[in-house]
Each structure stands twice: as C-alpha cells, then as structure tokens.
Amino acid sequence: MAEHVQEYFVWAVQVMRGPRGTNSALEGDLDELFHQSMSSDSVILLETVNFAAEKHRNQRRKDAEQTPYITHPIGVARILSHEGGITDIEVLQAALLHDTVEDTDTSIGELQIVFGQTVARLVQEVTDDKALSKEETKRKQVEYAPHASHQAKLVKLADKLYNLRDINRSTPTGWSTERVQEYFVWAAQVVRGLRGTNPALERQLEELFKQRGVEL
C-alpha cells in the first residue's frame, strides 16, 4: 500500500510540474501536501481533498475570477494548520468537507461511511439548514456559535477568516459596498460567540474587523 501511495505522489508531482501557473495559491497548498507525502495523516488528507474536489468539481466562487470552489475548503484547512497551529486530523478533514453537505449532493450518512462519525458530526455542526431563509440562517449562525463544539468552532473561525479575506481581495460579483459592510457586521456577531477558541485566528479576525470599523 505504501509503495502505491508513494508512486501516486511521484506521478502527481510530475503532472503538477507541467501546467504550473494556473492557480498559484492552490498549487502552493498542494505543494505542502506533497512535501509530507508519506505521513499517514497526509494520505488521509489527500483522500479527503480528492472527495471534496470531486463533489465541488462544477462549482465556482463568487469572485470576479470565478475561482474554482475547491480553493475555499483547502484554504480553510490551511488556515487552521498554518495559522491556527491545528494538527487534529479530523478538524482538518471537517474543514475540507465543511461545504459538501450544504452545497452538493453529499449526505451526512455518506460522510459517516467514508470518514467516520466524528468528521460527519463536525460537518453537520457547521452546515446550515437549506430550508431556512437567508436572514433566518444568519440569525441561527449567531445563536448557535457559542454552543458549538470546540472542534466545530475552529472550522467556523477559519471559514469566516477565509471569507472575509476573500471579500477584501475581490468583492463578490454584484455586491455593493453596503452589502460588504453588512457581511462584516454579521460575521463579527458570529465570531463573538466563538471567542476563546483560538487566539491566533481571533487576532487575525480582530484586525480585519478593525479595518472596517466593526466592533467585536
């Protein structure tokens, strides 16, 4: 099994050397995975990335560049690992999978079978109810944040941090200045309920809110 895994990584690196320059951020994140290719956790993460990429394969972000959606869950997992110091493999898996149930045909049952009870539970904790209106969904996120498990709070913090940075980088198509500000105000309300989870990530969020004149 180990030999097959190593062969796969060697082949993947060769492929990556060809079309470099397509998406530098995603390529950088993949490089990090390749450099750790023989650890068991990295193999697990690679399988999780592959699952998420397949599920999100036809989806794009709402930025002007219409970035492939998979860059978002990968980015959220990377924030947890590189900025939050998180090594809990199940938290990183949940980060990679956090939008699969909400935005694709994936079910919690499927995640339980493929990734186990803990990962499925974490994804369920951060998944919005599609039956609710946008306003009700936002209200529920604010209400639920303080009651989420510590692991789910980590995913939520990293998700908010990624999204706020992304909005600063490239305003979603069709969003007015007022809508952007409203999003920051709402995100701050959610983050207030997540305080005390990870100081490093919270400092980064505080700085973003400060730049927008939003109180935490």
Residues with Cβ within 8 Å of 137's Cβ and at least 6 positions away in sequence, in order, are: 128, 129
Tokens of 73: 């869950």
Residue 103 is among the residues annotated as catalytic for this protein: yes
Catalytic residue among 63, 83, 88, 103: 103
Catalytic residue among 90, 102, 128, 206: 102
> What is the secondary structure of the chain as a DSSP string?
-HHHHHHHHHHHHHHHHSSTTS-HHHHHHHHHHHHTTTSHHHHHHHHHHHHHHHHTTT-B-SSTT--BTTHHHHHHHHIIIIIS----HHHHHHHHHTTHHHHSS--HHHHHHHH-HHHHHHHHHT---TTS-HHHHHHHHHHHGGGS-HHHHHHHHHHHHHHHHHHHHSPPTT--HHHHHHHHHHHHHHHHTTTTS-HHHHHHHHHHHHHTT---
Residue 102 is among the residues annotated as catalytic for this protein: yes
Q: By the 8 A CB rule, do 114 and 54 touch?
A: no
Give catalytic residues, as residue numbers.
102-103
